[in-house]
């Protein structure tokens, strides 16, 4: 058997990508040859290339596929910078292969001129965020002729087919083939296969495909790196890389020491990926590929330990019971008992490779390879090493000089598609399930034109978003099937969040910024500007007219606010009047009467400086978790995540000192400058267990972690002073907010700023990262200083400081970071390049209700009244996908007309059902799942009762949507006057679309509108 090692990066020989050239005879038995490849160590790299015999062809001609329909091509919109990107898939309308090829070959979408693959790779990473390409991914079907038996992707007959034979389950793209039509820059993001399976990808025709691969033994390192850069996604889903939305460039991998290899797949070649091999890649131009998953006995241990996506319903999950029982019977009982937890040896070949091993040595070592094979191997290895040496001498700082290993199937060349004959022997599933199936392995990148997402399949590139954004260029239509249930973290809030042009974020050092700060208020310019991320600060922070007023205020108050804002001060005498007016206004508004504001009464900057009250406040905050004035930023989020438990378990040291784990990730402090100097990742002043020493200022009593404030523990003494007290600037206060107290550092403009505010505000930058000082505020756009704080705007005649904004959609609500922290607004670390994700009161998740609780609910007359919860019940609702692509998740069991669900229970998943809709007509659909929902029975003051979902019930302290406020009534004085006897409002039809409790207030995410325009 002939093989040769090919490597294009400087890793150890054991993890280099190998290329195999099987003979005709060897090519006949797929499973045996895979075993042989592993006997040669090909699996160590996580990927291998196979060049079939020269006269082998899977299809006689590709001239007859022009009329093949790509049901749901996708447009791949990429956001990010400095080597870290997030990819979103937008479904487009169906198109034929002829139309796709014509589009791919236009000047707009064709690849640029290039001298070699290295140059093309650099251009790929440089232009990744511009001009989003289309990708025709996850198309059920095959281009193989039926009489082809060798390496037929639809007929591999591996142990994975046990699933189909013994359970009758077909998982499209996993044990059935998928087609992929690509164009220049169409991409598949970093991922492993569903259930960490093997995959095979054959490039039928067209331009090459580049692949990147991280060897399985280093997969955990890549996961840790990704979680560090995308903590928000990692918090929402442990296996968020399976969403195929995360792109990390080779330069980042090199910088953080993640080993990787790259290879280019030409037309007529196979790429095989091995279990737990993280891979990504892109297409060089128009091409067509075919792919599926398979398995060997070695995979079973990987399948048992695979980490699965927990946030999406369409992720592939295979029961390992049948495999363990059949192939590992001696371990079955232990495995069922949860005691079969042996670690995986990534270097060990599959048991089927035993025939190629002699005393543990490979054929190469025992001399079984022919002389010609050995010579070819040595020659190619020498070429590869020479290439490595040459690359090592190049500038490693350039973004993407590595060839990229791709796992996506691409399409045929333009020349082969000019003829338009019949479809011949093409076998295509006429109704592929909508959605980029997660079942498909590495090539899960999807074409933006219209790829359907198959819930059973592996989530293609951004399948987490594909069904959320089903758009056409003329209008937006969100159908039930595409209700944003795919990924809670990225549903209908998905927006492109550009950062200010004043900031150049670089990967390792990038300091994240609040998604709320810039992204949520963008005013969408032309589409190409959104894609090119050239928004000006004014566009990024466009202040909506309604952002200046509290949406809970009445109109007279808003008018009064405007009148007050129109005043101007001309001299110091006027300033003193302003202070008096501010104090009177605050008393009028009663802000100090609110529980959270009472401790702050003497700390507002428009009141006289009170050093004793400031010390008292700092002391009180230092005695409460998280004990640190900087970590307090994320205090409310920690309480929500772990109710009833201590936020920061403390380690008490001899002498009474304490150490706790900081809540602020180091990533929130890191920043970059325009020079290219690398900032090595570090965790300054942290102990090995992740804790940091808590220290208190001897003058102002503020308490901070040494890591949060940038103080070396060795320099701390009993009389340690914070930076402000040390500079004897006791009367100075933060220039970014309206409150005193807390931990401050000097800013570069001679002023002072809370470290908490500097972390929260997107454009603020720590110049000296280790010391957390000084803070550069020059990048903050003026528009941010014009935002008015939701909490303190009525207190202050003048607009003080700058605000962060709610991160949900285009919500205009803005806060000073310190006001938000004191009021309990939920904030948590966001994905790079942002820092803080802010959730305002109206977007905060609902809390559970209890019997006897007073609430507000809609009565039969269409108005809202106060009522009382009298009973908690459960109700079952069915979720279905309709044939027209819409979906509903609130059907009653009796709405299924072709099955007696009351007697038989819910239909099996995927079963075709007939649904009677609210219009009386019957529609075809596929059953998805049954959901048991908590229902609340409420009683109004007249004794009438009704049952409602949690989304339709509001607590007395919740922020009410405008549509509820406008219909809110008090019935106590009219209890017996027939108020509830008004004409019953006709119940609205049950929606087959997103059921948002804030439907009347929902602001369409920027990305949708921008793309539509």
Which is catalytic among the residues 38, 193, 207, 458? 193
191 an active-site residue?
yes
Q: Distance between CA atoms of 138 and 428, rounded to whole angstroms?
A: 11
Which is catalytic among the residues 5, 7, 249, 291? 291
> Residues 152, 290: contact at Cβ < 8 Å?
no
Take residue 266 and report the two structure tokens written for it: 């030409």
Beta strands in 259-375 (DSSP E): 261-265, 270-273, 278-283, 287-294
Residue found under tokens 């159908």: 479
3-state secondary structure of 964: helix
Q: What are phi and psi of 230, to 5 degrees?
A: -125, 60
User: Please, what's the b/e burial string for 282-299 (b: 16 or more CB within 10 A of its CB; e: otherwise)?
Assistant: bbbbbbbbbbbbbbbbbb
Q: Distance between CA atoms of 435 and 454, rounded to whole angstroms?
A: 4
Q: Distance between CA atoms of 493 and 513, rounded to whole angstroms?
A: 17
Q: Distance between CA atoms of 730 and 736, rounded to whole angstroms?
A: 17
Number of H helices, E strands in the chain: 28, 39
Q: Distance between CA atoms of 578 and 468, rounded to whole angstroms?
A: 49
Q: What are phi and psi of 512, to 5 degrees?
A: -75, 160
Q: Distance between CA atoms of 640 and 439, rounded to whole angstroms?
A: 34
How many other C-beta atoms are found inside a 10 Å radius of the C-beta of residue 220?
12
Residue found under tokens 């072709």: 898
Q: How far apart are the first and last CA of the chain?
A: 57
User: Please, what's the b/e burial string for 341-355 (b: 16 or more CB within 10 A of its CB; e: otherwise)?
Assistant: eeebebeebbebbee
**Residue 590 backbone class (left: φ over 0; alpha: ψ -120 to 50; beta: rest):** left
Instruction: Show Cβ contacts of residue 337 under 8 Å, excluding neighbours closer than 6 positions.
Output: none
Residue found under tokens 């017996």: 976
Which is catalytic among the residues 33, 62, 135, 180? 180
Which is catalytic among the residues 43, 191, 204, 284? 191
What is the enclosing helix (H) or strand (E) of 140? strand 134-142
Instruction: Show Cβ contacts of residue 147 under 8 Å, excluding neighbours closer than 6 positions.
Output: none
Pick from 780, 839, 831, 783: nearest CA to 815: 839
570 an active-site residue?
no
> Residues 314, 438: contact at Cβ < 8 Å?
yes
Which is catalytic among the residues 141, 173, 450, 801? 173
910 an active-site residue?
no
Residue found under tokens 């019977």: 329
193 an active-site residue?
yes
Q: Secondary structure of 711-767 in the HEC alphabet? A: CCHHHCCCCCCCHHHHCCCCCCCECCCCECCCCEEEECCCCEEEHHHHHHCCCCEEC
- Calculate ∠ Cα 76-85-759, nearest 5°: 135
How many other C-beta atoms are found inside a 10 Å radius of the C-beta of residue 834?
25
Q: Distance between CA atoms of 404 and 418, rounded to whole angstroms?
A: 29
Instruction: Show Cβ contacts of residue 753 under 8 Å, excluding neighbours closer than 6 positions.
Output: 734, 735, 736, 744, 745, 746, 747, 764, 775, 777
178 an active-site residue?
no
> Residues 755, 743: contact at Cβ < 8 Å?
yes
> Residues 683, 689: contact at Cβ < 8 Å?
no
Which is catalytic among the residues 21, 43, 279, 490? 279
696 an active-site residue?
no
Take residue 428 and report the two structure tokens written for it: 């295509």
**Residue 189 backbone class (left: φ over 0; alpha: ψ -120 to 50; beta: rest):** beta
Active site residues: 173, 180, 191, 193, 279, 291
């Amino acid at each position: 058997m002939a093989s040769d090692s090919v490597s294009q990066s400087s890793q150890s020989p054991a993890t280099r990508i190998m290329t195999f050239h099987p003979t005709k005879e060897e090519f006949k038995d797929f499973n045996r040859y895979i075993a042989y490849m592993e006997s040669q160590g090909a699996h160590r790299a996580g990927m291998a290339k196979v060049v079939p015999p020269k006269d082998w062809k899977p299809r006689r001609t590709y001239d007859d596929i022009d009329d093949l329909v790509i049901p749901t091509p996708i447009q791949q919109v990429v956001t990010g910078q400095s080597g870290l990107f997030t990819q979103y898939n937008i479904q487009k309308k169906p198109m034929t292969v002829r139309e796709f090829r014509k589009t791919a070959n236009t000047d707009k979408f064709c690849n640029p001129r290039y001298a070699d693959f290295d140059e093309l790779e650099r251009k790929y990473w440089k232009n990744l965020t511009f001009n989003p390409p289309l990708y025709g991914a996850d198309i059920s079907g095959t281009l193989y002729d039926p009489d082809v038996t060798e390496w037929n992707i639809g007929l591999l007959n591996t142990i994975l087919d046990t699933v189909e034979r013994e359970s009758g389950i077909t998982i499209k793209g996993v044990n059935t083939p998928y087609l992929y039509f690509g164009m220049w820059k169409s991409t598949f993001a970093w991922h492993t296969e569903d259930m960490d399976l093997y995959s095979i990808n054959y490039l039928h025709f067209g331009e090459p495909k580049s692949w990147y691969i991280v060897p399985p033994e280093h997969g955990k390192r890549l996961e840790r790196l990704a979680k560090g850069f995308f903590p928000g996604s990692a918090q929402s889903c442990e296996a968020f890389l399976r969403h195929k939305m995360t792109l990390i460039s080779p330069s980042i991998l090199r910088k953080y020491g993640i080993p990787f290899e790259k290879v280019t797949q030409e037309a007529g070649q196979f790429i095989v990926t091995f279990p737990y091999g993280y891979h990504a890649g892109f297409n060089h131009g128009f091409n067509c590929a075919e792919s599926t998953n398979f398995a060997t006995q070695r995979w079973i241990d990987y399948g048992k330990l695979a980490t699965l996506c927990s946030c999406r319903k369409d992720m592939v999950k295979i029961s390992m019971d049948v495999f363990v029982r059949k192939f590992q019977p001696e371990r079955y009982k232990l495995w069922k008992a949860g005691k079969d937890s042996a670690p995986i040896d990534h270097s060990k070949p599959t048991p089927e490779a035993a025939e190629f091993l002699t005393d543990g040595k490979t054929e190469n070592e025992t001399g079984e390879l022919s002389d010609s094979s050995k010579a070819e191997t040595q020659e190619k290895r020498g070429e590869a090493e020479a290439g490595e040496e040459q690359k090592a001498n190049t500038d490693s700082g350039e973004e993407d000089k590595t060839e990229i290993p791709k796992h996506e199937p691409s399409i045929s060349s333009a020349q082969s598609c000019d003829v338009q004959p019949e479809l011949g022997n093409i076998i295509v599933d006429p109704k592929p399930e909508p959605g980029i199936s997660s079942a498909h392995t590495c090539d899960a990148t999807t074409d933006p034109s219209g790829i359907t997402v198959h819930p059973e399949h592996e989530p293609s590139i951004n399948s987490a978003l594909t069904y959320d954004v089903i758009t056409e260029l003329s209008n937006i239509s969100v159908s039930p099937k595409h209700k944003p249930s795919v990924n809670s973290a990225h549903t209908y809030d998905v927006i492109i969040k550009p950062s200010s042009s004043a900031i150049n974020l670089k990967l390792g050092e990038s300091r994240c910024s609040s998604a709320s700060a810039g992204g949520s208020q963008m005013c969408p310019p032309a589409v190409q500007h959104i894609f090119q991320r050239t928004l000006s600060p004014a566009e990024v922070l466009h202040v909506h007219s309604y952002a200046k007023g509290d949406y809970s205020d009445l109109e007279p108050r808003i008018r009064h606010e405007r009148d007050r804002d129109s005043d101007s001060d001309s001299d110091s005498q006027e300033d003193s009047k302003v202070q008096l007016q501010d104090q009177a206004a605050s008393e009028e508004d009663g802000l100090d009467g609110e529980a959270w504001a009472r401790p702050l009464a003497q700390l507002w900057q428009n009141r006289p400086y009170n050093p004793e009250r400031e010390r008292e406040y700092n002391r009180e905050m230092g005695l409460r978790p998280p004990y640190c004035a900087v970590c307090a930023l994320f205090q409310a989020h920690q309480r929500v995540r772990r109710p009833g438990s201590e936020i920061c378990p403390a380690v008490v040291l001899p002498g009474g000192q304490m150490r706790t784990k900081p809540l602020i990730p180091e990533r929130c402090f890191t920043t970059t400058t325009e020079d290219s100097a690398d900032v090595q990742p570090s965790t300054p002043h942290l102990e090995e267990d992740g804790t940091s020493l808590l220290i208190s200022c001897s003058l102002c009593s503020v308490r901070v972690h040494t890591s949060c404030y940038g103080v070396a523990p060795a320099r701390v003494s009993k009389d340690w002073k914070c930076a402000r007290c040390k500079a004897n600037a006791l009367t100075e206060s933060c220039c970014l907010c309206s409150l005193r107290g807390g931990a401050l550092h000097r800013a570069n403009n001679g002023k002072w700023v809370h470290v908490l505010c500097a972390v929260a505000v997107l454009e603020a930058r720590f110049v000296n990262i280790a010391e957390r000082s000084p803070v550069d505020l020059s990048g903050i756009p003026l528009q941010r200083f014009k935002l008015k704080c939701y909490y303190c705007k009525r207190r202050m005649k003048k607009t003080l400081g700058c605000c962060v904004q709610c991160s949900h959609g285009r919500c205009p609500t803005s806060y000073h970071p310190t006001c938000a922290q004191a009021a309990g607004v939920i904030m948590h670390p966001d994905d790079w390049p942002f820092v803080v994700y802010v959730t305002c009161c109206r977007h905060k998740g609902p809390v559970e209700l209890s019997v006897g609780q007073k609430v507000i609910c809609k009565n039969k007359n269409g108005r809202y009244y106060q009522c009382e919860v009298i009973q908690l019940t459960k109700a079952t609702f069915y979720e279905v996908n309709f044939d027209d692509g819409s979906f509903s998740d609130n059907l009653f069991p009796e709405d299924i007309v072709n099955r007696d669900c009351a007697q038989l229970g819910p239909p099996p998943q995927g079963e075709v059902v007939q649904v009677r809709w609210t219009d009386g007509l019957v529609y075809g659909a596929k059953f998805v799942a049954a959901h048991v929902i908590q229902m609340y029975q409420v009683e109004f003051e007249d004794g009438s009762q009704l049952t409602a979902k949690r989304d339709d019930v509001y607590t007395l302290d919740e922020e009410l949507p405008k549509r509820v406020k406008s219909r809110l009534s008090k019935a106590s004085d009219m209890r017996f006057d027939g108020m509830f006897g008004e004409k019953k409002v006709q119940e609205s039809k049950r929606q087959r679309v997103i059921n948002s409790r804030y439907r009347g207030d929902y602001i369409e995410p920027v990305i949708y509108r921008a793309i539509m325009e």
